[in-house]
Amino acid sequence: MYLCCIREKCKISNPLLNIALDAIINAVIYRYKGMEYAGFFARYYKWEYLSFLLRPKTDDAGDVINKSWMEIHEKIYAGKYCADDLYELLVYLQNKVRIKDLQNIKLIGNHTKENISDENKTLIEGIMNKMDGTMIWNKSQKRGSDDFLCKEENEIIKYKNYKWECTTLALLKECLVPDDCKKNESSVDELILPVLSSSDRRAIVRFQFNGLLPFSKVEMTKYTASRLATIYLDVSGSMNQEIDRLISLLHLFRSYIKMPLHVFSNQVEDASFVKGKMVYNSTHGTSIGPVFDHMRKHRIRKSLIVTDGYVEKMDEKMLRGLQKNKIKVLVSATGNPEQFSRLGLSYCQLKDIN
């Protein structure tokens, strides 16, 4: 499996990549075969930086690893990291890793380039045709057709959908503003007052016991304006590949969205959800200029634009009269955020699910 992963995804190899791959593969073996197979890793690798990532934790491992690294270890062996994510994290944290720690790790197997005989090439090719890197990479290859791999691929897609939801919800929360037309959010405050309250049973018992008026907890409910986000969704032709997924994503968070939701192609139109589907008109073409005009005209305080970024060339004039820090952009997985980055607009791009 290790050879399959390296050949399919990597042009070069380095110590951190080797550790990331071995850690993920060893964790897969541990989760599916238990200590009967993974016990060897616990005996071979020491419980110290960074070799502890290559083995499961045992009762005799001790607590010499700090909390942050232990959290990483727990996520690896719980199946919450893929090799891509772990490798990126190790590269990011490499200033915290001593060269000596890397040099002292003797990895199992041969991790160097060498000539492979024609006979072994044929054998490896046959193995690779049954495997696609599922459970190791966060985006599987096209090889492999086993039912088990299909199930694992579905689990990966579910995980990436979850990441879409987290990314979108975080941006939506940054764009929320009170909607004076909709006051249905309630909050409960607790006050300590020298009165009897039916909600504070302990205070009532104390009063019955000593006859003194106690301080009681009094709950007060207040209603405030709902906080909603103004959304502009790109429905131009270039969005066809992802539009259905994005609509489903927005429908999931419809309680956060101010209605009507706005869509745009070369002009802004209103849209609404009907039985889980979005009803809207598309005028074709692509222009983001009308979105900024709409914001100015209706004095939109904060907004979230959902687009692939394939719009006309943007410049500072288009944003005149608008506060950049009040505009957030959610870029589709296959989109291009370059223009938003160039103009200093805050954006976040969804990860590719396919």
**What are the residue ranges of helices labelled H in the chain?**
2-9, 15-33, 35-44, 67-77, 83-92, 99-103, 118-128, 147-174, 201-210, 243-252, 289-298, 338-342
Of how many residues is the chain composed? 354
Q: Is residue 203 part of a domain?
A: yes
- Please count the structural domains in the chain: 3
Position 351 scores a pLDDT of: 80
Contact status, residue 242 vs residue 333, Cβ threshold 8 Å? yes
Tell me, yes or no, whether 14 and 138 share the same domain.
yes
The distance from CA 289 to its chain's CA centroid, rounded to whole angstroms, is: 30
Structure-model confidence comparison of residues 37 and 66, the more confident one: 37
Q: Is residue 330 part of a domain?
A: yes
Record the tokens describing residue 271, joined without a space.
């849209």
Q: Is residue 151 part of a domain?
A: no
Of 204, 224, 244, the domain-final residue: 224
C-alpha triplet 18, 22, 27: angle, nearest 5°: 155
Position 99 scores a pLDDT of: 58
Tell me, yes or no, whether 10 and 140 share the same domain.
yes
Residue 185 reports pLDDT greater than 90? no
Averaged pLDDT, 278-295: 88
Tell me, yes or no, whether 123 and 234 share the same domain.
no
**Edge-to-edge strand ranges of the sheet holding 303-307:** 277-279, 268-274, 261-264, 231-234, 303-307, 327-331, 346-349
pLDDT in tens, 326-354: 999 999 988 999 999 999 999 999 887 65
Record the tokens describing residue 99, joined without a space.
């060269």
Q: Is residue 164 part of a domain?
A: no
Classified as helix, coil or strand, 317 is: helix
Averaged pLDDT, 42-52: 84
Classified as helix, coil or strand, 181 is: coil
Of 144, 178, 203, the domain-final residue: 144
Residue 165 reports pLDDT greater than 80? yes
Residue 226 reports pLDDT greater than 80? no
Rounded distance between C-alpha atoms, residue 15 and residue 35, angstroms: 26
Tell me, yes or no, whether 233 and 120 share the same domain.
no
Rounded distance between C-alpha atoms, residue 281 and residue 304, angstroms: 20
Tell me, yes or no, whether 216 and 233 share the same domain.
no
Tell me, yes or no, whether 138 and 195 share the same domain.
no
Tell me, yes or no, whether 197 and 262 share the same domain.
no
Tell me, yes or no, whether 133 and 191 share the same domain.
no
Structure-model confidence comparison of residues 216 and 184, the more confident one: 216
Structure-model confidence comparison of residues 44 and 81, the more confident one: 44
Q: What percent of the chain has pLDDT over 90?
A: 23
Residue 142 reports pLDDT greater than 50? no
Listed range (71-80, 96-105, 138-147, 273-282) with the worst mean pLDDT? 138-147
Tell me, yes or no, whether 85 and 210 share the same domain.
no
pTM score of the predicted model: 0.50
Torsion of CA 156, 157, 162, 167, to 10 degrees: 110
Of 144, 169, 203, the domain-final residue: 144
Classified as helix, coil or strand, 195 is: coil
Residue 175 reports pLDDT greater than 60? yes
Nearest to 263 by CA among 228, 307, 319, 329: 307
Domain that holds residue 195: 186-224
- CATH (domain of 331): 3.40.50.410
Q: Is residue 247 part of a domain?
A: yes
Give the bridge partners for 177, in sequence order: 228
Position 262 scores a pLDDT of: 95
Position 62 scores a pLDDT of: 75
Q: Is residue 106 part of a domain?
A: yes
Tell me, yes or no, whether 236 and 207 share the same domain.
no
Tell me, yes or no, whether 193 and 272 share the same domain.
no
Residue 129 reports pLDDT greater than 60? no
Q: Is residue 173 part of a domain?
A: no
Position 119 scores a pLDDT of: 66
Listed range (26-40, 97-111, 140-154) with the worst mean pLDDT? 140-154
**pLDDT confidence tier of residue 115, bands split at 50, 70 and 90:** low
Residue 322 reports pLDDT greater than 90? yes
Position 79 scores a pLDDT of: 81
Q: Is residue 123 part of a domain?
A: yes
